[in-house]
Structure 1
Amino acid sequence: MPRRHNGATSTPTAEEGPTTMPKLLLLEAMGNTGEYVIDAARDLDVEVVVVTHPDVYEEWYSPTLKHKIEEAGKLAFVDLSDSEGALRRLTGLARAEDVNGVVACWEFLTPLVAQLAAALGLPGNDPTRALSCRNKRIMARAFTEQGIPAPLTLAARTLEEAYQLVDTAGLAYPVVVKPSEQSGSWGVSVVGSDEELATAFATARSHLFQMPHGIPLDAHVIVQEYVGGTEFSIETVVAGGVATPLPPYDKFTTEGAARAEFGHTVPAELDEASVRTLQQAAVAAAHALGITNGIAHTELKLLPDGTTRIIELGARLPGDHIVALMRQARGIDEARIYVQIALGEEPSLAPTADTAAGIRFLTPPRGGVLRSVSGIGDSDAVARSRLTVQPGGHVRAPGDNDSRVGYVILHAGTAAEVNTAAAQVLADVRIEVA
């Protein structure tokens, strides 16, 4: 089949013999980052072996994603719920396929990828510290040991233990309650009383298996000091232990008890000193958690006194179509970089654009059946809009990222222009739910 590589093609001579196409083992392509990685691999002339479960493939993969896999590689089915068994099977699969790199596009599998890369002698992160990038309880302990500024974090298995730990630590309300291992703002609450803590604790502990793969999760619940300030996100690219931070960007979340993300703008409107402060903190956090080859997605807060607090870090590409925003705003292709590092290649990090891009998510006013979405308008800044739930589909009440029904991507010359246009879009849009 025809392939593309940096916009050019080449044909080996008879003396050179046939070329060998590099292979990338991709654990779980479900989600928007999977498509970006497959696109980047195809552009780099790399074959992709996508690992998933047959039920997940049939029920969760979109027709577009299935088509991309057919064009760029092949499928392999493995039970990923048993990490030890999966590691054995994946090691055999990788050796049989003679793969040159391994990545995960689903954050629950990033520790498994670190172990697999180490077993194969391929570029990857420190397998002995990989769980600290996934488990917030272990992450908090690593931050404390390495002197990384982060909120005071307690971990409890029972509500009674949580009350005792909060009292002993002298932690005052409000506090943040969250599961040790979850994603997408699921189960995250800001609580202001003992009664609210009890409700939030039960919610955070209500799902101890990550679906759809059925991966068992840590049963501890995190109770964390609430940190004020302004929240940002940033990616740090690490190749051979050398870390390079990318531009930080805005992370917008709802207020109140539930703190779901409703948008991002790349880059953030910040002075150079604040940018350096955020970047230095992100690099220190990546080193502390053993990121040696890959991308670290870090969420952190900038306090009024100019200091930072690291909220959490993931050893993965960012979700929420940040890959597309960064490419549009700065010309930096994070998915391409991710593939190149996994293959042991030197990535190009130089920006080729100097604009801004943003995304805003459309959230229904309540749960029910979606009737219609209207009013997005025809602003010049709107680059793309899409419904992820079609009229007639069931929608969740607002509270976490799973309640979204669509999104709007915007592009303009500056972050201020993007934010102004985004505010108008959110003010005008109408979401009808029956």
Structure 2
Amino acid sequence: MALVDAYSAGNLLVPALNREGVECVHVRSPEPDVNMVKLKFPEGFADDIRHEGDLAATVAALRAWEIDCVIAGGESGVELADRLNAELGTPGNGMSRPTCRRNKYEMVLAVRDAGLRHAATILSSDADEIIEWAETTVGYPVVLKPVASAGQDNVMACASAEEVRAAHDRIRSSTNRQGQINTAVLAQEFLAGTEYFVNTVSRDGRHHTAEIWRYCKRRIPGGHIIHDYVEPLSPDDPDAQALESYCHQVLDALEIHNGAAHAEIMMTADGPVLVECAGRLGGGAAPQILSRSMAANQIDLLAFSVARPDEFNRLPASLHRLLGHTLYVHLVNPDDHGVAPAHEDMGVIRALPSWAHTVLMHPEGQPLTRTVDFPSQPGYVILISDDPAQLRADYEKLREIERDLYTGHPVSEQTLADPA
């Protein structure tokens, strides 16, 4: 099989596929995620094919390897993976609306045309047009974002015309995470409620839910919305069935028939409404850690669907089940300046009773900016415990530790234990 742009969660898929006896080749798209290419590239590929824009040449190279499946290893690989599957005749996704799994405006139109709840949305290169739409249609706040990006890239909640103009100018004057110029800006109504994400794996149009998580986010100065932490939703929760059912309908609307998907959904007073859905793995996965607290994870489930499709198709639609209590905490640098912590600086966090895993996203000593999105966060920490009270106490302690963690003079365990 082939993976396109395996720089983020896709790099965790390689060992999972290898364990299933599946040989992988890699395809590099011409416009990979400018942030993810900085991460360590995985070993284990039989070949590394560079797609230079000539689809026929890349298809020929994959046919030489007798590729029977192409999967997006990250957001930048979604459209190319779909096109390659269509040309190869391998299991892929529907191509009647080939951009709807990347272009968020086309995504809304596909969901609308399927008769599903959707956010009021406008796409415009004119800030005044968005302001008029907001003031006559949905009111403030409104959410502005690039039409095709990922990782909270320039996602801003705007509470006034002035904030809309500032956000619009910022987005139009920047490129998205694939280095593409933002020629227009997407604006959507602000959805009030609780936000979740649902990670799924599909094969031959049959959808299986691996995980459902609840977001806790913060709005910070400048209109940015950042992740604080996420926690898994119990399948017994009253919202779980509605979220899963709606998500599977969204997958049908977007013609996601094969592979992984990561759907962000707001549970509003009227029911679930799509925020956006990506036709790829969810980010920040740590299957070897999460298997301690969850019965299924998206990485291993996707590998299973590739290696043993008949067995996969016999699985129940709902696979998520909790074995323990988990918090996935996003590290946040609150200051305009900072320094990426060293391994030894993180010892005070590793000493927390519920600590399970840490990923640091920047090299030790590298300057940090204020956290406003996924690429600017210092990393993340996974906490796991049988005791939810312990989990909450460790989360609060972690945020306390962060007050000094990025200053270059982090606190020690002894200082925390005996501040005098």
TM-score interval w.r.t. the shorter chain? 0.7 to 0.9
Q: Indicate the SS of the match to 1:132.
A: coil
Q: Which amino acid aligns with 1:397?
A: R
Q: Name the CA distance, whole Å, in 2 between partners of 1:279 and 1:27.
A: 27
Tell me if structure 1 keeps the 8 A contact 2:10–2:281. no
Q: Name the CA distance, whole Å, in 2 between partners of 1:198 and 1:57.
A: 27
1:30 equivalent in structure 2? 7
1:6 equivalent in structure 2? none
Q: Indicate the SS of the match to 2:116.
A: coil
The match for 1:122 among 78, 90, 96 is 90
Q: Is 2:237 the counterpart of 1:272?
A: yes
Residue 274 of structure 1 deviates from its aligned partner by 1.2
1:362 equivalent in structure 2? 331
Q: Name the CA distance, whole Å, in 1 between partners of 2:374 and 2:130.
A: 26
The match for 1:336 among 300, 310, 321 is 300
Residue 178 of structure 1 deviates from its aligned partner by 0.8
State the aligned residue count. 396
Tell me if structure 1 keeps the 8 A contact 2:146–2:185. yes
Tell me if structure 2 keeps the 8 A contact 1:142–1:288. yes
Tell me if structure 1 keeps the 8 A contact 2:123–2:186. yes
Q: Indicate the SS of the match to 2:188.
A: strand
1:421 equivalent in structure 2? 394
Structure 1: gaps spanning 5 or more residues? 1-23
2:25 equivalent in structure 1? 49
Deviations 1:281-310 (A, max 9, x none): 11111111101111221111112x361111
Q: Name the CA distance, whole Å, in 1 between partners of 2:39 and 2:115.
A: 46
Structure 2: gaps spanning 5 or more residues? 409-420
Tell me if structure 1 keeps the 8 A contact 2:200–2:260. yes
The aligned runs of 1:306-321 (5 Å cut-off) are: 307-321=271-285
Identity, in percent, stands at: 22
2:413 equivalent in structure 1? none
Residue 108 of structure 1 deviates from its aligned partner by 2.2
Tell me if structure 2 keeps the 8 A contact 1:293–1:341. no
Q: Is 2:227 the counterpart of 1:261?
A: yes
Tell me if structure 1 keeps the 8 A contact 2:356–2:383. yes
1:94 to 1:376, Cα distance in 2 relative to 1, 3 A: same
2:117 equivalent in structure 1? 149
TM-score normalised by length of structure 1:
0.82
Q: Is 2:363 the counterpart of 1:387?
A: no
Tell me if structure 2 keeps the 8 A contact 1:111–1:127. no
2:148 equivalent in structure 1? 181
Q: Which amino acid aligns with 2:227?
A: E
1:13 equivalent in structure 2? none
1:145 to 1:90, Cα distance in 2 relative to 1, 3 A: same
The aligned runs of 1:32-431 (5 Å cut-off) are: 33-52=9-28, 65-66=41-42, 68-69=43-44, 72-79=45-52, 82=53, 85=54, 87-168=55-136, 170-208=137-175, 210-211=177-178, 214=179, 216=180, 219-256=183-220, 257-265=223-231, 267-268=232-233, 271-303=236-268, 305=269, 307-321=271-285, 323=287, 326-342=290-306, 345-346=309-310, 347=312, 350=319, 354-370=323-339, 372=341, 373=345, 375-376=348-349, 378-413=351-386, 418-429=391-402, 430-431=404-405
1:420 to 1:114, Cα distance in 2 relative to 1, 3 A: farther
Tell me if structure 1 keeps the 8 A contact 2:144–2:168. yes
TM-score normalised by length of structure 2:
0.85
